[in-house]
Amino acid sequence: MEEGKSLPQSHVQEVNNDAVRPSFGAKLKAHFRKWIYVAVPRISQDGVNDSILEIQSLTLSNPTATSFHLEQDALLTNHNKYHPRLDAFNASLSVGGAEEEKPYAYIQLPAVHATETTTTHIDQVVQITDMDAFVDYNTQLLTKESVDLVIKGRTKLHQGRLPVITVDYHKTITMKGIVKLSPSSKAQSFNITSFSIKLIPEPDGANMVGTIYIPNPSVMTITMGNVTFNNYVDGDFIGTSTLSDLVLRPGNNTLPMRSTVNQTLVIGKVTAKYQDGLLPVDIVGNSSVYEGQHLEYFEKALQSNRQHIVLDVGAALAAVRGGGGGTD
């Protein structure tokens, strides 16, 4: 080649291509880098979405006007082949199916190693952040056979030596209602199983005492305090009934009930209209008071629900005349 003359352009281009062509190892690294930063987050999120959370027990105690103590055990099931660790995180609680999702409270969910089955435990005081939303939640618990609880949050996921990934946690859990009080429910609802009439009121003013049956098919234990109900016949107010220190537990609850009723009005209705002694009574929740504080979220839920029962007042009056004083 003569001095000063350059190589042909095609030869220069070939040399440059060989210089920048990535090696097989570099291509492999790029492939895995793409897999780690694109595929792994998607796989991790899918795994979280596919997991199942089942609340096995829930206890609401020490209620105040703006808070309650929550103790909850849950079972997390993970059918994915990956078993990551999730950091603790703050999660919102809201009612499913609402037109606008409004969290009624926030809870701290614990860190968990998502093996095939994992149990989690919560024990904390929860502040109510939206009273209307919490009233809606409790109303559904009292009037529907089930209610959807929505849990939402964001946390960090750890899987071996892979980069830490941020995932969204969004679960809707269908829970049985506390009490099947819905008029359309085919299940046995609450009922006054026995009562006796007192012609001379007792020291607290009660002139009818008895027992009330309340089934609770849910896994929830709820402290409601002193609960009162207003009783009506044909729209006329006849008196109040009180359940003192009410704690509804899973299963069948048989509880003492004390009532103050207008006996003159009741006897008048039996004499004039209900001569068979079977008195149709409408019962409407009135108040829920715990340690002197009114619990609005229970009171409004109770007030929204009207129940109807039939009391055999004739048998109770006959027992009084015969000296027995009651009916079963």
* pLDDT tens readout for residues 168-183: 999 999 999 886 544 4
Q: Pseudo-torsion of CA 20, 26, 32, 37, nearest 10°?
A: -50
d(CA 69, CA 88): 19
Read off φ and ψ for residue 133, nearest 5 degrees.
Answer: -65, -35
Lowest mean pLDDT among 262-266, 281-285, 302-306: 302-306
d(CA 296, CA 276): 39
pLDDT at 179: 64
Q: Band the pLDDT of 190: cuts 50, 70, 90.
A: confident
Structure tokens at 56: 């096995």
CA angle 171, 100, 91 (to 5 degrees): 35
Q: Are 72 and 57 in contact (CB under 8 A)?
A: yes
> Could you tell me the pTM of the whole model?
0.84
Buried (b) or exposed (e) across 309-322, using 16+ Cβ within 10 A? Answer: eebbbbbbbebbee
Span 15-58, pLDDT tens digits: 455 556 666 555 545 545 554 555 667 888 888 999 999 999 99
Tell me the mean pLDDT in the region 220-233: 97
CA angle 227, 232, 233 (to 5 degrees): 150
Structure tokens at 156: 């960090």
pLDDT at 325: 54
DSSP three-state, residue 283 = strand
Read off φ and ψ for residue 165, nearest 5 degrees.
Answer: -120, 140
pLDDT at 43: 81
pLDDT at 13 over 70: no
pLDDT at 61 over 80: yes
